[in-house]
Copies of this chain bind each other. A is one copy, B any other.
Amino acid sequence: MEMHQLRYFVAVAETGSFSRAAERCHVSQPSLSQQIMKLESRLGQRLFDRLGRRVVLTDAGRLLLDHATAILAEVEQVERQMRDATHTVQGKLAIGVIPTVAPYLLPSAIELFLRRYPEVEILLQEDVTHQLLAAAVAGEIDLAIVALPVADARLRVEPLFTEPLWLAMPRGHRLARRKRVRLEDLRAERFILLSEMHCLGEQVASFCRQREFEPKVACRSAQLPTVLSLIAAGQGISLIPEMAKEGDRSKRRVYRALADSTPARTIAVVRHRLRHQTPAMRQFIQLLKKKGGETRHPQP
């Protein structure tokens, strides 16, 4: 049962004539007759009674007509939709975000985006970098928002912005009194870090190691709010991304920049190098860039 056979069939049913149907379908009458006969033999049913000059549907033909018109209508609809889809921002958009970015950057970005493009359905996946990169490689998500570095030849990395990490400590901490805090001053401090799964945990640790001291780790937590709570409770200090600092409305913590060397992280969009880019993807990335540029320091 082929599509053109259904087209010919409907044409005959509607015109009541093989000749007129052939004309309408821009084929010769014998070609059309053959295709109808082929369809009939495939279905094991006569579809038309050839009553001399007139051609009428058999009962089987009437049954087929309903389905045939439905099928052709669906085909037409999907073809139209596909043509529209070329330039329309629509469809599903699967985004992966790391947990130390998700709650600060995404809600407002998604709200803005959906207001502008209500035809898009966003599927959000929050997970650690490793998982997100695997998902991007596997094609399970359209794009991942993670922190650099990302080293995978299969992925295309596009930096969005760089934000500083702030030294966070409890209100009344000895370092909080100083105007300028140097890295050296942190040697004696106990650090509260995220678990090794989270890139931010490792970033802070490796930042310290690069400056040649091994941070004393008081505790490794699974999520940033817990880290902040522990800091407020006086259990230690940490380096906190600016977007988290700005979201922090509590008076129990204070933030200081490091005077001598500024730790920072760069947030980037990552997608599969071979993945086709839909208008929705393009627009969303553009929005993220704009949003990053507004409040933070963009970086090439």
Contacts and interface: CB of A to CB of B under 8 A. Distances in A.
B46 A276 contact: yes
Nearest to A2: B3
Contacts of A274: 49-52
The count of identical subunits is: 2
A112 interface: no
Given A59-B92, A71-B74, A49 B276 contact: yes
B45 A60 contact: no
Given A2-B3, A51-B139, A91-B59, A74 B67 contact: yes
B63 A91 contact: yes
A106 interface: no
Interface in A120-139: 137-139
A8 to B, nearest CB: 14
Contacts of A109: none
B71 A75 contact: yes
A86 B44 contact: yes
Interface residues of A, number: 48
A79 B138 contact: no
A285 B54 CA distance: 24
A77 B82 contact: no
Most buried by B among A51, A91, A142: A51
A37 to B, nearest CB: 14
B62 A85 contact: no
B85 A45 contact: yes
A70 interface: yes
Contacts of A56: 138-140
A240 interface: no
A43 interface: yes
A41 to B, nearest CB: 12
A95 to B, nearest CB: 13
Most buried by B among A44, A58, A83, A93: A58
Contact of A62 (B60, B91, B280): B91
A142 B59 CA distance: 9
Given A60-B82, A82-B45, A137 B278 contact: no
Interface of A: 1-4, 43-46, 49-52, 54, 56, 58-60, 62-64, 67, 70-71, 74-75, 77-79, 81-83, 85-86, 91-93, 137-140, 142, 154, 272, 274-276, 278, 280
Closest 4 CB pairs of A and B: A56-B139, A59-B91, A67-B78, A43-B82
26 contacts: A1-B75, A2-B3, A3-B3, A43-B83, A44-B83, A44-B86, A49-B139, A49-B272, A51-B137, A51-B138, A51-B272, A54-B138, A54-B139, A59-B92, A59-B93, A59-B278, A59-B280, A60-B85, A60-B91, A60-B278, A62-B91, A63-B82, A64-B78, A67-B74, A71-B71, A74-B74
